[in-house]
Chains A and B, each alone.
Chain A
Amino acid sequence: QVQLVESGGDVVQPGGSLRLSCAASGFTFSTYGMHWVRQPPGKGLEWVAFIRSDGSNKRYADSVKGRFTISRDNSKNTLYLQMNSLRAEDTAVYYCAKDVAAATVDYFDYWGQGTLVTVSS
């Protein structure tokens, strides 16, 4: 069965950095696009970033562009999110989500359990 397991969430000071990981199993990771979606405490879902199956195309939400970098290692079946210059408003549960398509954005058929990032001094 499909499994997505995020890790790397932590408490970090404003201006700090963090790298999240998402270990995938149960499907051919290299043939699907992947996303990061976040949810601030008590609030709704916000899309963060997308990466094409082969890593050749990446898209970011305006709120994180220039600060976050999405990447993937298809040999390790792992998705990453490098987060720099973190702000208080980045505090959220971060979910990795699998797209049903390889190269375009469609919809998310599987989600991980999430990892909490708290930005606070």
Chain B
Amino acid sequence: DAGVIQSPRHEVTEMGQEVTLRCKPISGHNSLFWYRQTMMRGLELLIYFNNNVPIDDSGMPEDRFSAKMPNASFSTLKIQPSEPRDSAVYFCASSLGTGTSNQPQHFGDGTRLSIL
């Protein structure tokens, strides 16, 4: 079975440029999560969708960040304009049901983003 698929795996770009990260969740999963991982702050939840609807975006750092889920099999995380402090590994995860249903999250292999 295919797991969560993220693209690109690596992204290097100059500050000020727009960055778009992509995620395909596991088929049949109806919850999708975007995380950011850094050495200093660990794994941080950015935003969470259930049935394609954003439920909690309180972790999104600022207005430069936006996320969409146009359908059950695709989500994007966009940063515009990007800044060096956005450099991190960004993970997408999916699960069955809502968080309260105690279902595990399945993670993709992440996108390593470097903003120069």
A in complex with B: no
Interfacial residues, chain A to chain B (CB-CB below 8 A): none
Interfacial residues, chain B to chain A (CB-CB below 8 A): none
